[in-house]
Amino acid sequence: MKGKLSHRERIEAIMRGEKPDRPAVSLWRHFYHREATAEGLAEAMLAYQKEYDWDFMKINPRASHHVEDWGNRLEWSNDEFKKHRKKVFAINRIEDWDKIEVLDSTAGVLGEHLKAIALIARGSGKDLPMFMTVFSPFSIAGDLVSDGKMLLNHLEKDPKRVLAALEKITITFEHHATEIRNAGADGLFFATTEWASSDVMSYEQYEKFARPYDLRILRAALDGLNILHVCGSNNFLRELSDYPVSLVNWESHNPTNLNLDKGLDILKGKTAIGGIDHSGWLLRATPAEVKNEIARLKERYLDRRLIFGPGCTYEPSVPKENIAALREGLSI
């Protein structure tokens, strides 16, 4: 292994199972006050990267960007620490699923986010691996309604109608996955949100109504470097570990999920992203305690296929001093 590696070289070395010059790390968060435009999002992400010099960038668009072109509406937040408020949902009655059509994924809000990717790619350069957040089709359907229980209820009452809408959602994002690569991203950060969890549905349900659509999006993006993010507690990481991706991220500190060691064991050559308890010690510890935790993690995992990262998006309320301490601890 040569001396100092670039971000991309470091990620690639870890993925090959080699010991890098130093651990790789990235954290991601929302910038609620900057998310309303492509320019604002790009500026926020580039400033964040300049401040901390992460080894890859996970672009964090506003969480509703994937449903706004179908009719969801927000009350915008100008507060860095306050989420946008959801005001209007596209689906209110079971008949509303008939209104879901295949979108032009280069236009509207989706098109704006392709512009953001291009701006970020231009500003960050080729050395920084960059991933765009894409939610699973079932998750997107769940965000079109005010309550996920409504989606499951509609699916039970009229599966043909809901599945027809899911098909159109999937086609839209198959196309969008290609355009994301064309805009300059290395691949997808493919998130199942709360749905790949026994807290909300059985795996048998997920396998029937969600997995086939997930795989279509991932196959449409096979030419890229993709991350699977399995959200929440009691998640289906084990069941989804065969998805065609190179990197996998999940909340390994949640006691209902596989821990980092067990997850690494089942990933069979894939690279894990994790190890940072974003809602635990990163949020609550002192900077000195953060450095001590990082030192322990480095000693334990430097020889594994692991990129240090959070289990999910961390809250903007995490002290900046802790983020700085974490970054300093992983810089050597």
Dump the DSSP string for 236-247. Answer: -HHHHTTSS-SE
| pLDDT tens digits along 72-101 | 999 999 999 999 999 999 999 999 999 999
| pLDDT tens digits along 158-202 | 999 999 999 999 999 999 999 999 999 999 999 999 999 999 999
Q: What percent of the chain has pLDDT over 90?
A: 97
Give the pLDDT confidence score for residue 2 in this predicted structure.
Answer: 59
Please tell me the distance from the alpha carbon of residue 33 to that of residue 193, in angstroms, as a whole number: 23
Q: What percent of the chain has pLDDT over 70?
A: 99
Q: Is it the case that residue 129 has pLDDT exceeding 80?
A: yes
Give the pLDDT confidence score for residue 268 in this predicted structure.
Answer: 87
Give the pLDDT confidence score for residue 207 in this predicted structure.
Answer: 98
Instruction: Report residue 322's pLDDT band, with 50, 70 and 90 as the boundaries.
Output: very high
Give the pLDDT confidence score for residue 54 in this predicted structure.
Answer: 98
Instruction: Report residue 310's pLDDT band, with 50, 70 and 90 as the boundaries.
Output: very high
Residue 271 token pair: 């690279």
Q: Is it the case that residue 290 has pLDDT exceeding 90?
A: yes
Q: Order the strands of the 271-276 sheet from edge to edge.
A: 57-59, 130-135, 187-191, 227-230, 247-250, 271-276, 306-310
Match domain 22-329 to its CATH number in 3.50.50.60, 3.20.20.210, 1.20.1250.20, 1.10.600.10: 3.20.20.210
Instruction: Report residue 106's pLDDT band, with 50, 70 and 90 as the boundaries.
Output: very high
Q: Is it the case that residue 241 has pLDDT exceeding 90?
A: yes
Give the pLDDT confidence score for residue 302 in this predicted structure.
Answer: 84
Please tell me the distance from the alpha carbon of residue 55 to that of residue 185, in angstroms, as a whole number: 14
Please tell me the distance from the alpha carbon of residue 22 to that of residue 7, in angstroms, as a whole number: 10
Q: Is it the case that residue 35 has pLDDT exceeding 60?
A: yes
Please tell me the distance from the alpha carbon of residue 25 to that of residue 53, in angstroms, as a whole number: 9
pTM of the model: 0.97
* Burial degree of 192 (CB within 10 A; 0-12, 13-18, 19+): buried
Q: Is it the case that residue 1 has pLDDT exceeding 70?
A: no
Q: Is it the case that residue 8 has pLDDT exceeding 90?
A: yes
As beta bridge partners, residue 131 has 58, 187
Q: Is it the case that residue 109 has pLDDT exceeding 60?
A: yes
Instruction: Report residue 332's pLDDT band, with 50, 70 and 90 as the boundaries.
Output: low
Name the average pLDDT for the chain: 96
